[in-house]
Structure 1
Amino acid sequence: MGGPARTSRRAGLDNTAPVHAMNLLFVADPVEHFKIYKDTTFAMMREAHRRGHRLAVCEPQQMHWQRGGKVVARVRDITLTGHAVDWFSAGEPREAALADFCAVLMRKDPPFDSEYFYATHLLEQAEREGARVFNKPRALRDHPEKLAIMEFPQFIGPTLVTREPQDIRRFHAEHGDVILKPLDGMGGMGIFRVGPDGMNLGSIIETLNQGGSQSVMVQKFLPEIADGDKRVLIIGGKPVPYCLARIPQGSEVRGNLAAGGLGVARALTARDQQIGDALGPILHERGLLLAGVDVIGDCVTEINVTSPTCFQEIFEQTGCDVAALFVDALETAIERMAR
């Protein structure tokens, strides 16, 4: 995937049909709420539409299954208009079996709650009925975004996962400056930094730990966060040549864009490339067509698999058409599975 790709594709909606136009179903949050100037799912849709693929959408709660039948969903066929406002037109809702689509793309944003978990089981049933689902439902369940890093200790900093307040206090005493986060947070939600003075450590433990009922992740604070929390995208097992560094602003410790971080696209460093080359084939083999590996300095901090983002920011700043790389990988995967 070396070098900027397909920079001419930004303008317009070229409807040149590919040799094999496909029906694609996006399982996502309500499309009416998309912020299309930055939404990665929209970027995927736009590139698929440009190639002549047909698009449909549904929300997870619109899927259902009954004995004797297949997993079906109440879907809407949509067409992109090319306008910034009223960016799509939709047909009337209809019931369709997931297995009748060429591919189903699970793009529901976190949190990974019980309903998301149940949705992966419906999607896995649809797979048994012949559906091709990306990312693979079992892989979504097997790679919780905070805990997936445990498999790769050679790439992470000092990290603790526990329910025990005393474990957290010992970890803090050892490392002095730490980050505490809930395992089900997203967008930087619920992240705390505690310095050497231990200010508010007890209160933060009580807030996150909920009296021992909730596990907490604690990591040694990495001062390299000042240079950005980098999102390294892995598509089809290979790292995209550019990452997006989310840089904390002002007194904020979080670089997440949702928390006000500034996104700056950069070429991968040698370490970023090493991480992507090591993790990429493993994640791809497990059915993760797309993953977002978060890196601070030289250390992996999270592996995002539910709905990784940053396609549009990287394209706008570098000309590397990440959406085109993704649809390339999607088409290749579908062709291989159809053989």
Structure 2
Amino acid sequence: MKLAFLADPLAGFKTYKDSTYAMMVEAARRGYELYAFEQRALALDGGGVRANVDRITLTGNPRSDDHHQPHDWYRAEPIGVQPLSQFDAVINRKDPPFDMEYIYTTYLLELAVQQGARVLNDPTAVRNHNEKLAIAQFPQFITPTLVTRDEARLRAFHAEHQDIILKPLDGMGGTGVFRIKADAMNLGAIIETLTDNGAHSIMAQRFIPEIVTGDKRILVIGGELVPFSLARIPQGTEVRGNLAAGGLGVAQPLSARDREIGEALGPVLASRGLLLVGLDVIGDCLTEVNVTSPTCFQEITQQTGFDVAAMFIDAVEKAVRA
């Protein structure tokens, strides 16, 4: 099987924790051919969607930390411009920000699907599921939430709930997330900054105190739950549990509530073409539905022995046969 990965530059991968790397290792173990290209390599050319692609060979020398040379874990052989339809599957692992260039990429990938390519996750589904706003489709599982650019509404939401979180709709890794307590310290300045003086909508949510025990990442693959979550626990005075913000990742079995949420959403999201989803749950509340490039494969596998990458490649194989 020939798998092509649309990803950020491979030279920047931290292979000791990167989920895309784990996918590649498992696919290579099964004897599959690996290819990679970046977002900028994608083009609509003569009516067809093509990309300037490299054939990737893993060297078996992954980086264990940030101090190894950047190219020692793979070799890249340029093979030129290729139609995406020639691959058995294209795995979209481009990280946010979900900006207009990302939107344009989903349009190109959507055209590629029409031309016979199989893209996972489905680009139309990715575009239709903003990772913050998608939770509103499942209101039974969320904390009180407001999406607006209007300062008066945001102030009223704070006045009602006293302790709230404000965050942008297009961030990742906890970027731009603020907690405002009952004293409303800097509320106006934060609203002005996040909304760009009313130009952009943001999300407000009632603060969930269970964040002290972790922001849980629950992986759903092919509609099925990985049996462990990764609880990302804030450290020190930080309110964000995201690993990128310094959170400590602790793998743990799914709770009954985790399973309730995952089993309700999993089949629905899979039916929409979302093969891999990362649900974020704090306490009993769903806070995000991650569909672009969900992570935490290696942390869960290293701590529990459950092979998340193998489950993912199993699901890719099933999708290709379908």
TM-score range, shorter chain: over 0.9
SS of structure 2 residue aligned to 1:65? strand
Q: What is the match of residue 129 of structure 1?
A: 115
How many Å separate the matches in 2 of 1:170 and 1:142?
29
Unaligned runs of 5+ in 1: 1-21
User: Please, which of 167, 180, 189 is the counterpart of residue 153 of structure 2?
Assistant: 167
TM-score with structure 2 setting the length: 0.97
User: Please, which of 61, 67, 75 is the counterpart of residue 83 of structure 1?
Assistant: 61
**Does 2:212 correspond to 1:226?**
yes
How many Å separate the matches in 1 of 2:194 and 2:80?
43
How many Å separate the matches in 1 of 2:144 and 2:49?
43
User: Please, which of 321, 327, 333 is the counterpart of residue 313 of structure 2?
Assistant: 327
SS of structure 2 residue aligned to 1:205? helix
Q: What is the match of residue 15 of structure 1?
A: none
**Does 2:172 correspond to 1:186?**
yes
Q: Amino acid of the residue matched to residue 80 of structure 1?
A: L
How many Å separate the matches in 1 of 2:265 and 2:278?
11
Kindly report which structure 2 residues correspond to 1:262-273, keeping only aligned pairs within 5 A, or say none: 262-273=248-259
Q: What is the match of residue 29 of structure 1?
A: 8
SS of structure 2 residue aligned to 1:203? helix
Q: Amino acid of the residue matched to residue 173 of structure 1?
A: A
How many Å separate the matches in 2 of 1:175 and 1:93?
57
Kindly report which structure 2 residues correspond to 1:105-254, keeping only aligned pairs within 5 A, or say none: 105-254=91-240
Bigger strand fraction: 2
1:91-142 CA distances to partner (integer Å, 9 max, x unpaired)? 1241111000000011000000000100011101100110000000000000
How many Å separate the matches in 2 of 1:119 and 1:226?
37
User: Please, which of 89, 113, 117 is the counterpart of residue 103 of structure 1?
Assistant: 89
Q: What is the match of residue 13 of structure 1?
A: none
Q: What is the match of residue 297 of structure 1?
A: 283
How many Å separate the matches in 1 of 2:290 and 2:241?
15
User: Please, which of 266, 273, 289 is the counterpart of residue 280 of structure 1?
Assistant: 266
Shift of 1:210: 1.1
How many Å separate the matches in 2 of 1:175 and 1:298?
18
**Does 2:42 correspond to 1:63?**
yes
Q: Amino acid of the residue matched to residue 26 of structure 1?
A: F
SS of structure 1 residue aligned to 2:173? coil
SS of structure 2 residue aligned to 1:138? helix
Shift of 1:209: 1.3
Q: What is the match of residue 7 of structure 1?
A: none
SS of structure 2 residue aligned to 1:329? helix
How many Å separate the matches in 1 of 2:107 and 2:195?
28
Q: What is the match of residue 27 of structure 2?
A: 48
How many Å separate the matches in 1 of 2:320 and 2:104?
25
Q: Amino acid of the residue matched to residue 144 of structure 2?
A: P
**Does 2:52 correspond to 1:74?**
yes
How many Å separate the matches in 1 of 2:41 and 2:54?
11
SS of structure 1 residue aligned to 2:78? coil
Q: Amino acid of the residue matched to residue 295 of structure 2?
A: T
**Does 2:304 correspond to 1:318?**
yes
How many Å separate the matches in 2 of 1:73 and 1:166?
47
How many Å separate the matches in 2 of 1:190 and 1:306?
18
Q: Amino acid of the residue matched to residue 61 of structure 2?
A: H
SS of structure 2 residue aligned to 1:171? helix
Structure 1 residue runs of 4 or more that deviate by more than 3 Å after TM superposition: none
How many Å separate the matches in 1 of 2:296 and 2:172?
15
SS of structure 1 residue aligned to 2:62? coil
SS of structure 2 residue aligned to 1:73? strand
Shift of 1:66: 2.4
SS of structure 1 residue aligned to 2:48? coil
How many Å separate the matches in 2 of 1:327 and 1:182?
32
Q: Amino acid of the residue matched to residue 270 of structure 2?
A: H
1:43-93 CA distances to partner (integer Å, 9 max, x unpaired)? 0000000000100000011011123x4211000001111112511111124
> How many residues end up aligned between the 2 structures?
314
SS of structure 1 residue aligned to 2:40? helix
* Percentage of pairs with the same residue: 62
Unaligned runs of 5+ in 2: 64-71
Q: Amino acid of the residue matched to residue 101 of structure 1?
A: F
